Structure 1
Amino acid sequence: MAHKWTENDVPEQQDRLAVVTGANTGLGFETARVLAAHGASVVLAVRDVEKGKQAVARIAEIVPGARLSVLALDLASLESVRVAAAELRAAHPRVDLLINNAGLMYPPRQNTADGFELQFGTNHLGHFALTGLVLDLLLKTPNSRVVTVASLAHRFRGKIHFDDLQWEQSYDRVAAYGQSKLANLMFTYELQRRLTAHGANTIAVAAHPGGSNTELMRNSPAVIRWLAPAVAPLVTQSPAKGALPTLRAATDPGVLGGQYYGPDGLGEVRGHPRIVPSSNRSHDLAAQQRLWAVSEQLTGVTFEV
């Protein structure tokens, strides 16, 4: 029988620095907790610094002696992303793990500080910019990884709407979320191709949590929120379990660049992490390259690979 990978399988992370976006709650919190428990120094990159400090206190209670710090990062503001990247560079000569975890799902139509649709701007463009701005810290760190958290939702009406990326003509929150999560996967695949061509030993990997019972659901349509107490136990798992695909992508020595990890159960909704497939659309090379070019243009961030 195949081995069921758990947080106990995370190798020793001593002397490694991990940056986890959205680490004050849910999947990000659990990811930070486990990495800290295995010896990593963890930077909790969060929008709300006060909540970040509370998360640090909670992890420190569970993991005495944990090495933790908080970094102010609002992915919905390119200025904030640039400031955070500069602070990271000033404080740390290297980054072993960049875990692009933060995200939001199904909000009403809103714009980021830079005028991007909020889900695309936060989930994809903010992480794209952050990765590009700290990439040199990863490139000079042996066996470093960029792990980007996607979603099963990349399959649900997930399509890159190049003719209306910011949903200005009409807004569909479900399709907009699907676009942002598809973009996360396309970003991972194109980044890996560039890293390989560059001869880098940094790898780019993606993961998804399956159905995870986290605060992400707070903007769901009313009917979903109403059904959630009855249905959630059947189609979701705890944040600790949902974080396992991210943790495996980040730490398992056998992981290869460009792989995608998710739960092994029926429909990839629950279970233990394994390599999973992504949609045919996510592997569209021309669309990946076009999305990359547009993302560089929109963020003003170019990559050295």
Structure 2
Amino acid sequence: MPSHGTPPNALRDPTVLITGANSGIGRATAQAVASRGSRVVLAVRNRAAGDAVVDELVGGRDRHVVAQLDLADLDSVRRFADQWTEPIDVLVNNAGVATPRLLRTADGFEMQFGTNHLGHFALTALLLPLVSSRVVTVASQAERAGRLDLDDLNWSRRPFRNSRAYADSKLANVLFTQELTRRLTASRSPVTAYSAHPGLVRTAIYDRPPGTTPTIWDRLVPILGQDPDAGALPVLLAIFGDIAPGSFTGPRHFANMRGGAHVIGLSKQARDHQLAAGLWAASERLTSTQVPA
């Protein structure tokens, strides 16, 4: 078995499951993956939107599958995992939210942390026995601004800051990948894990309700943001590239915010093994799931 895992393009008719594949980077990733001959499973909250995207993919409904999944509801995650029994070559944890104010998931978690990290943590834990090749988690270079408080992951005591909460969720994505990589390596699993930073991308995640004060990123994205096809390139590198396990991929240019894809560096805190282990233990407790060894 190659040390970097078996690239999905070396597999016969690989199946790639992508969360949030109905729009933005997830949609662009699904289109690119389907064009390479892979079978795509679109795990989406909005079933109608997923059905519309399937019609755009090479092979259409005869080849690809749409399935209901709401990452902000752990019961939905469990139902999805209970119903899905087929092998998966690559799991792409893509779906994500950014909220302008404090919102809660169905389970009472802060919406960004609960959806972007905990939902995907539980999904990975439940589906990992079916995965044969790779787990790719879409994170962000915003992880550098994260300041995870393991004693208050749910923003119960701290004054809520939407940008910090989003950065915390993205730091959690990267720490999850690093700890998952260590565990997969220790167990000699053939599965490898990667995280990807799409860069500055024009997607609906930056849409804000009327009357909301825009952030600096809300102002910059329409001017400097790249389209979702370009934003998908680092994700595709993580899916198909011959790169070291645990790699963090991102754009090549403009401070890793635009253009192409290559392996980029992680912040010091994203490489903190103790923080990663603490987050892992907290995630298992909060989601009542365990990633199999």
**TM score, norm. by length of structure 2:** 0.92
TM-superposed CA distance for 1:234, in Å, is: 4.5
**Equivalent residue number for residue 5 of structure 1:** none
Alignment partner for residue 223 of structure 1, among 197, 209, 214? Answer: 214
Distance in 1, Cα, partners of 2:216 & 2:170: 21
Question: Contact conserved, 1:13 with 1:38, CA < 8 A, in 2?
Answer: no
1:57-96 to 2 correspondence within 5 Å? 57-60=55-58, 67-89=63-85, 92=86, 94-96=87-89
CA contact (8 A) 2:21 2:42 kept: yes
Supply the distance in 1 between the matched residues of 2:240 and 2:15 (Cα, whole angstroms): 12
Q: CA deviation at 1:113?
A: 0.8
1:54 Cα deviation from its structure 2 partner:
1.1
* Residue matched to 2:41: 43
Which amino acid in 1 is paired with 2:278? R
Paired with 2:278 and 2:226, the residues of 1 have a C-alpha distance of 35
The equivalences for 1:100-249 within 5 A come to 100-138=93-131, 141=132, 144-156=133-145, 158-169=146-157, 170-219=159-208, 222-224=213-215, 228=219, 231-232=220-221, 234-249=223-238
Instruction: State the Cα RMSD in Å.
Output: 1.9
Indicate conservation of the 8 Å contact 1:41/1:66, yes or no: no
Runs of 4+ in structure 1 deviating by more than 2 angstroms, as ranges, are: 10-14, 63-66, 219-228, 231-235
1:303 aligns with 2:288: no
Say if 1:219 and 1:227 are closer, same or farther in 2 by CA, change over 3 A. closer
Show CA shifts across 1:87-128 (max 9, x none). Answer: 222xx1x11000000000134211111111100000000000
Helix, strand or coil for the counterpart of 1:219? coil
Identity level (%): 42
Name the counterpart of 1:292: 280
- Unmatched runs of 5 consecutive residues or more in structure 2: 1-7
Q: Residues 43, 210 of structure 1: CA spacing in aligned structure 2 closer, same or farther, 3 A cutoff?
A: same
TM-aligned CA deviation for residue 163 of structure 1: 2.3
Q: Secondary structure at the match of 1:171?
A: coil
Aligned residues of 1:12 and 1:38 also touching (Cα < 8 A): no
Query: In the alignment, what sits opposite 1:7?
Result: none
* 2:101 alignment partner, SS class: coil
Corresponding pairs, count: 283
Which runs of 5 or more structure 1 residues have no equivalent in the other structure? 1-9
Match for 2:96: what amino acid? G
Q: Contact 1:45/1:73 (CA < 8 Å) preserved in 2?
A: yes
Q: C-alpha separation between the residues in 2 aligned to 1:40 and 1:226? A: 34
Cα shift at 1:233? 5.4
| Letter paired with 2:130 | L
Determine which of 261, 265, 269 is the counterpart of 1:277. Answer: 265
Question: Which structure dedicates a bigger proportion of its chain to helix?
Answer: 1
For 1:301, the aligned partner's letter is T
Matched, 1:265 2:265: no
Please report the TM-score for the alignment, with normalisation by the length of structure 1: 0.88
Deviation per residue, 1:139-164 (Å, 9 max, x gap): xx2xx0000000121112x0111121
d(CA) in 2 for partners of 1:219, 1:118: 15
1:64 and 1:73 map into 2 onto residues whose CA distance is 20
8 A contact 1:145–1:204 mirrored in 2:
yes
**Contact (CA 8 Å) 2:18, 2:94: kept in 1 or not?**
yes
Deviations 1:6-34 (A, max 9, x none): xxxx9476410100000000000010111
